[in-house]
Structure formats: C-alpha cells, structure tokens
Structure 1
Amino acid sequence: MKPELAALISEALEQLVSDGVLAEVPESAPQIDRPKDPSHGDLSCNIAMVLAKRAGMAPRELASQLIAALPDNALVDRCDIAGPGFINFFIYPGHHTEVVRTILESGAAYWRTNTGGGRRVQVEFVSANPTGPLHVGHGRGAAIGDSLGRLLEATGWSVQREFYYNDAGQQINNLALSVQARALGKDPNQPDWPADGYQGGYIEDVASAYLSGETVQAADREITGGRDPEDLDAIRDFAVACLRREQDQDLRAFQVIFDKYFLESSLYDSGAVEETVKTLQRVGHTYEEQDALWLRTTDFGDDKDRVMRKSEGGYTYFVPDVAYHHNKWQRGYERVINEQGADHHSTITRVRAGLQGLDAGIPEGWPEYVLHQMVTVMREGAEVRLSKRAGS
C-alpha cells in the first residue's frame, strides 16, 4: 500500500504546485510509516511538516490543503491531522481483502510476469560427483537451484535445469578401485586397500550388487553388473550408474527434476576438450613452461596464470569446465546461471578467463554464478566432519 499512497500524495503535491501553494514538487518520495497506535490510522506521513517552511504556512494548514488535493481513489477512506502536522490515512477496509480476491482469481498466474520474454536460460545446480550419496550441502544447492529455476519461469524465462557430473577423472577411478577392492574381498583396514579409496559402507553395497548381476536404472542410463571383479571398466560404469540412481531417488523425493544430465566423459569422447586446448593455443593465450602448458589467465583479470596441462600429463580440472561452458554457449544459452558451493569461488575467474580466451564472442561475466555457503553439521556442540572418502 505504501507505493500506492506515495503516488497519491505526489499527485496532490503536483496539484498544490499548479495552485501556487508550492513552488516545486520535492525530489525525494514522501516518507510513509505505519503508526504504532492503530487508532492513528493505517499509514502516516510527515510531508506537511517537511514542506511547511518552504510553503510559508503552518504545517497543519498545509496538511489540510494537501488532503483536499488528493485525487479520487479507492485506497484512502479518510484522513485526519494529528499533532504538529502529521497526516494519518485510514485505508478502505475492503482494500485489505482485495488482494486475497485477486490471488484467488489469478491462481498460479498471480505475480507472474513476462520479463524474460521466453528467452532461454540454463540453471546448472547440484552437479555432485557420483562417488557417494548426496549430503546436506547438496540439499542446500538443490533447494536454491530449483528455486532459481521456478522464479525465472515465473518471470517469463524458458528454463532448462541441468546436472553435470564428473564420470571421468581420478575421483571416478578411485571409486572404481574401491568397489573392485570390495568385490575382491578386501576392506579399508587392509594394507592393500587403494590409497585414495572410498571407505563408506555404500561401497560394499555397490560391489555386492555388481557381483550379483543387478540391473541398475538411473535417470540417464541402464546397466547390468558384469560379475567379473577383474573388469575395472565394467565396475566403473556400474558404480557410477548405481550411485547416480541413489542421487536420482533422493532428488525426486525432494521434488527436484532435471531436464538434462551432461556427462564429463562426453567432452573427451567428442574431442571437445582437445579442441578447446587447440583453440586457446591457436589464438595465442597459452605458453609452455617447465614441461607444462599454461593459460594466460592474467590477461583476463586473474591474479596469476594457470596450468592447463600438467608436466606429467593430463589436464587440470578447469580445462573440461571451459570446454563444458563453451558447449553451453554453442547450445544457444545467452544466459547461464551456475549454483555452486562457496568452495568453487576460485574457479569462477579461471573458467571465465578460458571462455574469453576462446575469442568466441562470449560476453565478459558469462556465465553467472550463485554461491551458497557451506553447511556445518553440529553434534552436541561439536562440528561433525563430512567426508565421502572416509565414509563419514
């Protein structure tokens, strides 16, 4: 109601200017407050006291003229003048319930707008590695990301929700080795357990399902356990699908649904990662030093240049991220929002620098990022450390 009343008061002030009572309408909007005592009205304004000296009249007299100049409206039932010149406004009783009628009549369309005009926006969120169950931090990301999607849809954007998961790289290899070790009858307490292996009880469950030939149906894949404990590739594929299924079940229970699942491995299979590196080399934003390939991220605002290809071989983690976001741009998303944990803060500059280095016409500051604070779990006043690798 305050904006509506402020507009009415502004119209009254313009009328007083036309009548010669005031020389000009003040630049600042009228200050409107809610009285502490309900008997003093629904809203109150001190504008007459503020402008009285300029008008050369007593505040109460100016207040009276301002009330008389108010335009006809369906908001204000009556006004009175209190104290040295406060104007108290009493709102029509029906106005308080009118919004309820409007909400009921509008239904799901209430407060929806077409600000987005049907333009496409992608929201990527959760994107948890399939190396273990989702935890409360992923739940926070799911809630924020899905809420962003709903708000964007309510304002006229065409929203695509995407889940990117790393089904390649060292962490997935550690997962496969851990499941294989369990399939071979080993446990984390034995000296030949994989050095960076995952120790949670779920690893034993995955190994048992693999050995029994269980068929796993995840949102984006179906796979049957190969039973052979020596087939590391088969174990890797099964373990990823198994943990993806569990993540899918948790997200569906949370009423979070994704439109697309994007696999990191597809970036390597399609040659997108190699092509990204070659493009950055071709346009002159890379150099070699100490047997490593570096990206001149300082050219794009980073505090130091970053290694792309390590001296021992293999790309650093932000290189496939650059290839992935280039893929998003190629898919026609003029707006992309990544919802991630605060621990991803340092990757923002690197990814944006890599995208700028491609000279592909990608705007500075693309993509957008929304970061949530990390979740701290407490038990009896002490922090509980969460670790998928330790199984806690």
Structure 2
Amino acid sequence: MRAADTLRAALAAALKELDLPWPDKLVVEPPREAKHGDLSTNAAMLLARAAKRNPRELGQELAARLPALCADIEHAEVAGPGFCNVTFRPSFWRRAVAEVESAGAAYGESDAGKGRKVLVEYVSANPTGPLHVGHGRGAAVGDSLARLLRKTGYAVETEYYLNDAGRQMRLLGLSVWLRLQELAGRAVEFPEDWYRGDYIRDLAADLLRREPALADLPEDESRARCGAYAVEQILGGIRADLAAFRVEHGRYFSEKSLVDGGAVDAAFAALEKAGYTYERDGALWFATTRLGDDKDRVLRKSDGSLTYFASDIAYHHDKYRRGHDWLVDVWGADHHGYIPRMRAAVAAMGEARESFDVVLIQLVNLLRDGKLVSMSTRAGEFVTLEEVLREVGPDAARFLFLSRKSDSPLDFDLELAKQRNLDNPVYYVQYAHARISSLLRRAAAQGLTLPERTDEAALAPLDTPEDMALLRQMAAFEDMLAQAAQNLAPHHVSRYLMDLAGSLHAYYARHQILLPDDEPRAVARLALLRAVGQTLRNGLFLLGVSAPESM
C-alpha cells in the first residue's frame, strides 16, 4: 500500500477538475507532527500563481474535493501558508495487513525503477591483501544497494573490478619474491614501499614449500610466478570472506581484459571522435577542463604506459557498451576528488552525467577495549574482515555497517556488536521478529490460529491509536524503499526497521495480545503482528541480515 500514490491519484483528479497542471516540484510527505494528518502536500502553494488565487483559498478548494474523489480519504484541511493535510480512514490502513499477507516475501516490491538497467560495482579492493573492516562497510553497502534496487523494479547486475595489472601487482610480486628469497637464506634489501604484512611471509613460505626450485629461477620469471600465486591466493581469500559476509558479485571484471579485449583503444577512439583528446610532449591528454575539471589529465604517458584514469575510463566505457544505462560505483571517501573527472569522462563519451553515480564510503573507526585500532594494508597493521566476522558474526557486522549514512564516519564498537540485549541495534530488531514468532507459536498452542488471509471485517477491532500508528508505520514500508533506492541510501532501511521494532516493543508492552475473553480482538492483533513480522523479515533481508524466530 503506497499512501502517497493514493493521494497523488486523488490530487491528479482534483487538478483536472480545476483545469490546473501537475506541478513539477509537488511534494507528498508526512507532516511534521502526526496530529496534522497522515500526509501533506504543497500543491496549492505551487499552483496559486497559475490559478491566480490565494494559496490558502486554493488549498481549501483542494481539501474540499479530495474526500469526494477518494473514498479512502476521511478528511483534508489547510494548514499554514497553504499546505493541504490529508487523513485516511482507518479501513485504509487496516488493508495493509491483507496486502502484507497476500504479498509475503514480495511485500515492498514496486516498479519504481521501471526495469532500468543498473550496474552496481563495489568492493573492488586491490588483490594485494585481505579485506579489512573498511572494505566490509563498502561490501555491505554495495550488496544491500543491489538488493534494494532489485526490490524496487530495477534490472540490476553487480560487479567487482579486479585490479590485476599495473604497479601494485608488480609491487605485490616483488614483496612476495623478496620474502621467498629471505626464507631461502638469501640476503635481501626491502624497498620502502613494499607490502609488509604477515600474510606476505605466509604466501612466500607456502609457495616455497610447493615449488622449492623457485628461489633459483631467473628473477623476472620467479617474480612473475610469485605475483600470480599471490593474486590467486589473495583473491580466493577475498571471495571466501565475501561469501561468509553474504555478499555476492555477478561478475569479477579483470583489468587485464581491458587491454587484451581492445576496450582501452575503443574508449580512446570515442574520446578522440568527440574531440576531447590531444597529444603533447609525447603523451596523450584528455581535455577535461572543457567539461568542468580543474586541469587536463594524462591518459597515456610518454613512455607508452597507461594511467589509472585511462583504465577507469575504458572500464566505464565498456560498462555502457554492455547495455547498462545507470552506473553506480561504491568508492572509498578518499576518492571524492576523482568524481568530477569521471563525470567529465562520462559526458565526453556522450552519456548523460546523471547516468553515473558514486556512493562514498567513509572510514570505519574500529574500537577494541575503547581504543582505536589503526589500519594500514602496506604496514600490515589492520583488522581483517574475517576477524570481525569471526568475532561478531555477519548479522551484527552488516547491520552496524548500514546503520548510518555511508559517507559519514562510523564507530564500530566490537563489544556492543557482541551484546545480546536491546542496546545492540541488530539484536533490538531481530528480537522484535523473534518476539512475534514466539507469540504466534503460543497462540497456536492455545488453539488460536489465523487464516492465511484476514478479511477486513476481522480487522475492525484494530481501533486504538497504537493500532493505527503501527499500521501506518508498516504501510510506509514500500514508500520508504522507493525513496531509499532513489537516494541510494540503504541506511534508510535500517532506521525504518529500528523505528518499527521500537513501535512493536512498545505496542507489546501496552497491549495484551492473547485476550482470553475477546477472541476477535486477539485474532486482529495477531494478524497485525504477523504482518509486522513479515515486514521486519523483508527489511532484514535487504540488509543481508537473518530474521531468527527465537533468541
């Protein structure tokens, strides 16, 4: 049930009667205070000039027409400078129970995305070391975004961009090779920027045991083998960590394949055709200043090597060529300055700027015993995602990662994540679902069973303010999902679930459910709570979090 759509339909009919256009900036949203109604619209204020009328007078005209045009609207009234506040009938909200019962796991689905083809790329960590807790936040956001977009009618594919070429890979191979030489008893000198983690030593030791002769091979051959083995093993660990974290990628896209498959040449040709490239000092340049960047950027250096920017342009050009019309990248917040030049590249390729969006992931401050844990991949001082999952589990990790807006810093309290009480946000929500499941089991044990579909008459006993509040909150699920998808904001889901769980706990404390002397009211309340449980379950799935039936 989308109350906003119901009001929009009634508004459209009213405006047609008044011969007024649909305003571009029309807003339909809950008023600031619940006592002012269920929804409010600014239509009268936007149309007052076109109608040549005072906004309040026009608002009163709309308020008078809406109940006659929509039987679900109980009354409407004007407030402030011309807001039109609308209140729906209790029967409208009670129908939400039947809608949840009918839809089940599909409740909340919509066609808001209208099948638009979206490619969500996330994690994409260089295979130079294990995933750390910061990567975990990006993984949770990207995976939940994909789930959310699918739920709201988008055709979604997911991808991990595998940086398996370039300087970082050469440095990884060198780091493992140096450790291997050291383990073979050779004197080595480590460069300043090599990878120092214990995992480098472990990789070198494993490889030396497998291939003892490797230390004596020519350096180029031995280093190449060290690099290939390291990438293979590290990527295997990354895949395993993501699987344990309930994160899926439809495709791992190799950076090497860009050059091998001609994608770089194709991208350069597209930029040249559009007139955005030029050569200077033996290098190939991209004239990004013409598209709003602060300076032009090098694509191919004078020595013939490609810049990272060139590979990224080729990758995104390839994404568009594969038929995607909306690209959503999940990047670390340190890439903020990279966004304008990528938008410039998108525009130069002839694509709409709004067809490319970036979701930034801010740092995770991991706390252990009240102290901040520092993380540096190259120095080897970091807490891996595997360690976090082993300590707190995927449910707590995913929910906490998604509890705040992704571009805001997040304090991840390991002790809080392990607590099994209502101070722990994920436990708070999961317990609401388990509490409902327990109540339904108790009802069945007492011989009080619910039909698969509860008719409207059986829900009539839902008449208290708390009943109505819980119904309204549950019915807002689909609207919330559509808004969260539009804003690429999965944290809206976690906040909604916290609020819904809070309302459920308060409702349970205030009202007796299994009323021995009032079976009709008991059945109505059980049906309501069963629908709330389904809504909680559906929301938790979008976050990649389980919905236990007992705790």
TM-score, normalising length from structure 2?
0.53
Aligned residue for 1:228? Answer: 214
Q: Give 1:1-392 correspondences, 5 Å limit.
A: 33-35=33-35, 73=71, 98-185=95-182, 192-213=189-210, 228-229=214-215, 230=217, 231-277=222-268, 280-281=271-272, 284-357=275-348, 360-378=349-367, 383-392=372-381
Task: Give the partner amino acid of 1:374.
Answer: L
How far apart, in 1, do the equivalents of 2:223 and 2:114 lie? 49
CA apart distance, 1:280: 3.7
Task: Give the partner amino acid of 1:145.
Answer: G
CA contact (8 A) 1:352 1:366 kept: no
Q: Which runs of 5+ in 1 are unaligned?
A: 18-26, 37-41, 46-53, 56-61, 79-88, 214-224
CA contact (8 A) 1:301 1:353 kept: yes
Task: Give the partner amino acid of 1:228.
Answer: L
How far apart, in 2, do the equivalents of 1:273 and 1:75 lie? 58
Task: Give the partner amino acid of 1:259.
Answer: G
Q: Which runs of 5+ in 2 are unaligned?
A: 19-25, 41-55, 76-85, 382-551
Task: Give the partner amino acid of 2:339.
Answer: I
How far apart, in 1, do the equivalents of 2:350 and 2:256 lie? 26
Looking at CA atoms only, which structure, 1 or 2, has the larger radius of gyration?
Answer: 1
User: What SS class does the counterpart of residue 182 from structure 2 fall into?
Assistant: coil
Task: Give the partner amino acid of 1:337.
Answer: V
CA apart distance, 1:311: 4.2
CA contact (8 A) 2:327 2:357 kept: yes
1:323-369 deviation digits (Å, cap 9, x = unpaired): 11111111111121111112122222223333443xx5423344222
- Number of equivalent positions: 344
Identify which of structures 1 and 2 has the higher relative contact order when contacts are C-alpha pairs closer than 8 Å and 6+ apart. Answer: 2
Query: How has the CA–CA distance of structure 1 residues 389 and 4 changed in structure 2, closer, same or farther, with 3 Å as cutoff?
Result: closer
Task: Give the partner amino acid of 2:193.
Answer: D
Task: Give the partner amino acid of 1:320.
Answer: S
User: What SS class does the counterpart of residue 308 from structure 1 fall into?
Assistant: strand
CA contact (8 A) 1:174 1:194 kept: no
CA contact (8 A) 2:293 2:341 kept: yes
Aligned residue for 2:457? Answer: none
User: What SS class does the counterpart of residue 214 from structure 2 fall into?
Assistant: coil
1:216-241 deviation digits (Å, cap 9, x = unpaired): xxxxxxxxx79613421121111111
Task: Give the partner amino acid of 1:306.
Answer: R
| C-alpha RMSD over aligned residues | 4.4
How far apart, in 2, do the equivalents of 1:44 and 1:282 lie? 51
CA apart distance, 1:203: 0.7
CA apart distance, 1:381: 6.1
Query: How has the CA–CA distance of structure 1 residues 270 and 97 changed in structure 2, closer, same or farther, with 3 Å as cutoff?
Result: same
Deviates more, 1:122-131 or 1:109-118: 109-118
- Which structure shows the higher helix fraction? 2
Query: How has the CA–CA distance of structure 1 residues 332 and 74 changed in structure 2, closer, same or farther, with 3 Å as cutoff?
Result: closer
How far apart, in 2, do the equivalents of 1:157 and 1:335 lie? 10
Query: How has the CA–CA distance of structure 1 residues 235 and 292 changed in structure 2, closer, same or farther, with 3 Å as cutoff?
Result: same
How far apart, in 2, do the equivalents of 1:90 and 1:119 lie? 34
CA contact (8 A) 2:196 2:378 kept: yes
1:70-129 deviation digits (Å, cap 9, x = unpaired): 7895676x9xxxxxxxxxx99877766542342132112212112333342211111110
1:265-288 deviation digits (Å, cap 9, x = unpaired): 111222332443455456542333
Query: How has the CA–CA distance of structure 1 residues 321 and 73 changed in structure 2, closer, same or farther, with 3 Å as cutoff?
Result: same
User: What SS class does the counterpart of residue 182 from structure 1 fall into?
Assistant: helix
1:245-280 deviation digits (Å, cap 9, x = unpaired): 111111101111111000111112223324434554
How far apart, in 1, do the equivalents of 2:292 and 2:131 lie? 34
Query: How has the CA–CA distance of structure 1 residues 369 and 32 changed in structure 2, closer, same or farther, with 3 Å as cutoff?
Result: closer
CA contact (8 A) 1:212 1:227 kept: no
CA apart distance, 1:304: 1.0
Task: Give the partner amino acid of 1:258.
Answer: H
CA contact (8 A) 1:115 1:156 kept: yes
Query: How has the CA–CA distance of structure 1 residues 376 and 290 changed in structure 2, closer, same or farther, with 3 Å as cutoff?
Result: farther
Task: Give the partner amino acid of 1:308.
Answer: L
How far apart, in 1, do the equivalents of 2:5 and 2:341 lie? 47
How far apart, in 2, do the equivalents of 1:182 and 1:296 lie? 43
Query: How has the CA–CA distance of structure 1 residues 156 and 3 changed in structure 2, closer, same or farther, with 3 Å as cutoff?
Result: closer
How far apart, in 1, do the equivalents of 2:262 and 2:212 lie? 28
1:144-186 deviation digits (Å, cap 9, x = unpaired): 1111111111122221110001001111111111111111126
CA apart distance, 1:195: 3.1
CA apart distance, 1:299: 1.3
How far apart, in 1, do the equivalents of 2:39 and 2:115 lie? 41
CA apart distance, 1:309: 2.6
CA apart distance, 1:10: 8.1
How far apart, in 2, do the equivalents of 1:97 and 1:149 lie? 31
Task: Give the partner amino acid of 2:206.
Answer: A
Task: Give the partner amino acid of 2:351.
Answer: I
Task: Give the partner amino acid of 1:391.
Answer: G
User: What SS class does the counterpart of residue 178 from structure 1 fall into?
Assistant: helix
How far apart, in 2, do the equivalents of 1:267 and 1:9 lie? 52
How far apart, in 1, do the equivalents of 2:338 and 2:27 lie? 43
How far apart, in 1, do the equivalents of 2:177 and 2:366 lie? 31
CA contact (8 A) 1:117 1:157 kept: yes
